[in-house]
Amino acid sequence: MVTGMLTTVMLGSQYADEGATAYDVRTGQPGLRIDLTARIKVTYPVAIDTSAPTDPAKPYLVLYDVSDDATPPNMAQQVRRRVQVVCPTGEVLCPVTDDPNLLSCSFNRICGLGPSASSTSTTASSTALAPPALTLLGPSVMRIRQGAPYLPCSGGQVRGCEQGAVATRQVHGDTNAEIR
């Protein structure tokens, strides 16, 4: 398990490193602190991408290293910052249907409607967040006899049966497979 300070960044927003500070306290000179902040080396093992949420167990890392000006230099213990890309407030983390290694955020707490890592959208205001348009096939009101079965239409039959619906999403297109 990776340890270190945890910083969260909202999906689609820009990550700005908060930085770090470092001081050297000289042996035998109590109260003398030398600022080493400008010498801190910051490393990003993987670039932070905020277009998709991160698995809570696999955050991005920012590594901070510094050494003093002694000969040979004394290396400070490395400090790590874990960066977690999170879903907007009220939304939940969802697996992407076609790739279980990718994650997305829900929209109105419904998985499959928000942007995913494979989406071309990277902002929360994108049309990818728009809910799909659902269109009923056939009449919106059906009258059936009490106790009679109400079944899906088949074999060209279109009266007295469920004709179904069509769902489309502005960015992703056909979403018929997601109708439940």
Could you tell me the residue range of the domain that residue 156 belongs to?
132-180
- Band the pLDDT of 7: cuts 50, 70, 90: very high
Number of domains present in the structure of the chain: 3
Cα–Cα dist 12/153, whole Å: 43
> Which residues, other chains included, contact 111 with Cβ-Cβ below 8 Å and sequence gap of 6+?
92, 94, 95, 104
Residues 69 and 14 in one domain: yes
Q: Are 42 and 19 part of one and the same domain?
A: yes
15: CATH: 2.60.40.10
Asked if residue 101 and residue 69 are part of one domain, the reply reads no
Q: What is the pLDDT of residues 17-44, one digit of tens each?
A: 999 999 998 878 878 889 999 999 999 9
pTM over 0.85, yes/no: no
pLDDT of residue 70: 87
Q: Average pLDDT for residues 112-136, to the nearest whole number? A: 54
Residue 137 sits in the same domain as residue 123: no
Read off the pLDDT of each residue in 145-160 and give the average, rounded to a whole number. 82
* Cα distance between residue 155 and residue 160, in whole Å: 13
Claim to verify: residue 96 and residue 69 sit in the same structural domain: no
Same domain for 11 and 76, yes or no, is yes
The answer to whether residues 59 and 102 belong to one domain is no
Whether 117 and 140 map to the same domain: the answer is no
**Are 72 and 96 part of one and the same domain?**
no
Q: Which residue has the higher pLDDT, 107 or 38?
A: 38
pLDDT of residue 116: 46
Mean pLDDT of 111-138: 57
> Which pLDDT tens digit goes with each residue over 157-175?
777 788 888 777 665 555 5
180 and 145 share a domain?
Answer: yes
Please give the pLDDT value at position 72: 93
Start-to-end CA distance of the chain, whole Å, equals 38
Are 26 and 62 contained in the same domain? yes
Residues 151 and 169 in one domain: yes
